[in-house]
Chains A and B, each alone.
Chain A
Amino acid sequence: MALLEIDRLSVSIGGHPILSDVSLSVAPGATLGIVGESGSGKSMTALSVMRLLPPGMTAKGAIRLQGEDLFAKSEREMCRIRGGSVGLVFQEPMTALNPVRPIGDQIAEAVRLHLPLSRADTEARVLRLLDRVGLTRAKVGPERYPHQLSGGQRQRVVIAIAIAADPKLVIADEATTALDVTVQAQILTLLREVAAAEGAALVLITHDLAVVADMAERIAVMRDGRVVEEAPTLELFRHPRQPATRELIAASDYTPERLPSPTVDTPVLVAADDVVRAHRLTRPGLFRPRPMARVLDTVSVEIRAGESIGIVGESGAGKSTLARAVLALDRPNEGTIRFRGRDLFALSAGDLRRTRAEIQAVFQDPYGSFDPRHTVARIVAEPLHLLAESCPSAERKRRVEEALERVGLPANAGLRYPHEFSGGQRQRIAIARAIVTRPALVVADEPVSALDVTLRGQILDLFAELRRDMGLALLFISHDLAVVRATTDRVYVMKDGQIVEHGETETVFHSPRHSYTRALIDASPSLERALAKRAAARE
């Protein structure tokens, strides 16, 4: 008998369907992966199992846990199931724990709710649970508060809470999405180990195909609130039956058109030399001096005209700080940044304006990078005032329309407001704004990280096309190794404010010299590697 059986589950809000006829089943001790893009209904399926749907949503169908219908249970009985038979791990480790209570206290609460243990036994169990998720007493004791823990450590605590009462099923909803790749690999391993040791079944919800391919024996693909396909992992990837599945697989190892790398005699556009950027920390003690933290530590980067440069590294490595320095937004404490041989921070106001017209930027968040009160035309036209020749309004209009068309938006898109566009279209608007002055360099800071995989490919294509047509150089900043590998000529690997390795992208990825680069590559989920491993295991 299946442990969990979801039978024609439909969820709607005010007559608007969220889930339609979702049927899934999980065997005891098995691992099911649910993949799909945002809005496909993955999380709602998980919340339905817990009966924790947001208010206003109504569910139909049946969900059976060990043969018992969950929809027929009283709220009190559900409270025994939540955290008792089913543990849940969420996406946001930074905010998933109560900031004002020690972590041991929060784990103990989950124990007490479901197990009739004495106070001493509860304490002992909390220590064992912390130990089990890799937080030893010496390193992270139960008396610590969430803010004293890193994101990965917090997610370990959340996992400890989820397994506190020996659940038969653990649901992990994008549990590693917000984490750095090396931490993600550790947490995934932990989830797998814990589930195996407790004999619990695992439902892994993610947008990342490589992660599920590695972790799950069976995979269900969701789109628009429906399960479009469910099959054993290898079979699903080798013989996808549905177009939606095929599309998803194709998008996830998508490589845009490769352009010839510029030659050595191409002029240097940007040269950053030994750049140091530091900021003061708060005083550690009342009368002690404020220490300085180096966010950028003697960083040197060179970008040639038309070249595509990648910067990779985990959060806190200093990638965005470097971008801001190259954009002449923040002055480095030491070192110089030259653009076409002239020091960016020694330019006259007029020269700085002309230079800014040549260095433009695209940011990560397609929702936050536009003033919601401005029309798209006004947004795209914003950098035009940098141009030396004053721009008459007819010329402005023409250039805005040209930029919009170039990024694949209709010319009349300018009359509308950014909120009327989808995430992918918004990123096109951001790119239109970046190219409206016909710059020589675009700094793109995580430009596709907030997008679904199918959109990601389209935006990467657009960058490749613009580079080819406009001779644009690109400084491409990302935590995603696969994307950087697919789009850049040369790459710099950053860690803790320093560049640990740089070189031709293919060389660096193929034969990394630095141990950190190797660790990064090993930790990055790879669909190819996961499938090969799975195939080998079967034989």
Chain B
Amino acid sequence: MSEARPRSAHAGRRSVFARALAHPSFLIGVSIAALLLAAALLSLVWTPYSVAEVVVSDRLQPPTLAHWLGTDAFGRDVFSMILVGTRNSLGVAVIAVAIGIGIGVPLGLASAAEGGLLDDVLMRGSDLVFAFPALVTAVMITAIFGPGAVNAIIAIGIFNIPVFARVTRGAARGLWSREFVLAARVAGKTPARITVEHILPNVASLIVVQGTIQFALAILAEAGLSYVGLGTQPPAPSWGKMLNDAQTLTAIAPWLALTPGLAIVFAVLGFNLLGDGLRDVLDPRLERRR
């Protein structure tokens, strides 16, 4: 009965900060994310060498003091390329996730509030999008417009829309059947106003968590698309493209295949940890189960 229930979902609302500081995977995730962001910003103003600089005499050097991570087949500095690649990966992921949130969340909110036909159309529509793996979408876009980074953004972004729409819709529908929403309706509030005042704030943390996870997936997808040549185009450096170049050289320059892959793992791991951490920190109800 009443008192036996756990005190509240928000028993520690004001100690979110304290909980965050005590959460190892959240801390690791935040640190990695911050490091990547710093690297991306740094690459805007400075890299050890220019990534456009082709010095054939310096080609395929193993890691040295001058070139920390060695050089590629064109004599370009791998460390500089990794830095610029970070910017590229994060940039694509930010826009792709923003497309997903910007379109998917309003759709999910509206569908939960309206129900009926809109809801049916949304669910069928998302089934349709899920039937096209992002890679297949990218193939089709490439067939029409030719390859490019924008390609990757659109393909990943389209896939993200139903992901966010479904997550938002599911959580929002749960909230619509709660008594506090009923109370708001008794207070004469319109569905739009209830959505803004009650639903959105209560699904926000879920969207943030999902956003982090989709961000990690987007980095992975961008690397894959660039690897097969559908994403970022040379000479712009990207982690996936670097791996493609390195693949043929594994027998003579194995280190080239190592660093871009590690960079991808590092970034994806970081954002996944951040997502897991945020989930626990923002919603203590789930923490007990983990």
Give A residues with C-beta under 8 Å from B: 37-39, 207, 327, 329, 352-353, 356-357, 359-361, 363-373, 382-383, 385-386, 417-419, 422-424, 430, 433, 450-452, 455
Q: How far is the CA of A38 from the CA of B179 in the complex (A)?
A: 22
Given contacts A371-B198, A422-B3, A423-B2, contact A365 B188 (CB under 8 A): no
How many residue-residue contacts, CB under 8 A, span A and B?
A: 94
Within B176-228, the residues touching A (CB, 8 Å) are 178-180, 182-189, 197-198, 201-202
Please tell me if the beta carbons of A417 and B13 are within 8 angstroms of each other in the complex: yes
Q: Which residues of chain B in 132-185 are interfacial with respect to chain A, using CB atoms and an 8 Å cutoff?
A: 178-180, 182-185
Quick check: is B23 within 8 A (CB to CB) of the other chain?
A: no
A361 and B201 alpha carbons, distance in the complex (Å): 24
Contact of A361 among B9, B183, B197 (CB under 8 A): B183
Q: Who on chain B is nearest to A207 by CB?
A: B1
User: Which of A327, A368, A450 is within 8 Å of B180, CB to CB?
Assistant: A368
B4 touches A38 (CB 8 A): yes
Residues of B within 8 A of A (CB): 1-5, 7-11, 13, 178-180, 182-189, 197-198, 201-202
| Interface contact B1-A385, CB-CB below 8 Å | no
Interface centre among B1, B3, B4, B5 (most CB of A within 10 A): B1
Contact check, B179 vs A451: say whether CB atoms are below 8 A apart.
no
Cα–Cα, bound, A87→B9 (Å): 34
Give the residue of B7, B8, B183 whose beta carbon is less than 8 angstroms from that of A433.
B183
Structural contact, B183 and A372, CB atoms closer than 8 A: no
Most chain B beta carbons < 10 A, residue from A327, A356, A371? A371
Report yes or no: B9 in contact with A360, Cβ–Cβ below 8 A. Answer: no
Q: Contact: B179 with A369, CB < 8 Å?
A: yes
Smallest CB-CB separation from B11: which chain A residue? Answer: A419
- Please indicate the chain A residues that have their CB under 8 angstroms from the CB of B182 in the complex: 329, 361, 363, 369
Nearest-CB residue, chain B, relative to A386: B188
A369 to B11, CA, bound (A): 16
A207: B residues at CB distance < 8 A: 1
* B187 & A356 in contact (Cβ 8 Å cutoff): yes
Report the separation of the CA atoms of residues A455 and B3 in the bound assembly, to the nearest whole angstrom.
Answer: 11
5 examples of A-B residue contacts, CB within 8 angstroms: A372-B9, A383-B188, A385-B188, A418-B8, A451-B2
**Further contacts, 8 of them, CB under 8 A, given A39-B4, A369-B182, A450-B1:** A38-B4, A367-B8, A369-B183, A370-B183, A371-B202, A372-B8, A385-B187, A455-B2
Q: Is the CB of A373 within 8 A of B186?
A: no
Min distance, Cβ B134 to any Cβ of chain A, angstroms: 34
Bound Cα distance from A383 to B186, whole angstroms:
8
CB pair B5 A327 closer than 8 Å:
no
Given A38-B1, A371-B202, A372-B10, residue A356 in contact with residue B178 (CB < 8 A): no
Q: Are A368 and B188 also in contact (CB < 8 A) when A450-B2, A452-B3 are?
A: no
Cβ of A37: which chain B residues have Cβ within 8 Å of it? Answer: 1, 3
A386 touches B10 (CB 8 A): no
**Which residue, A327, A357, A360, A372, has most C-beta atoms of chain B within 10 A?**
A372
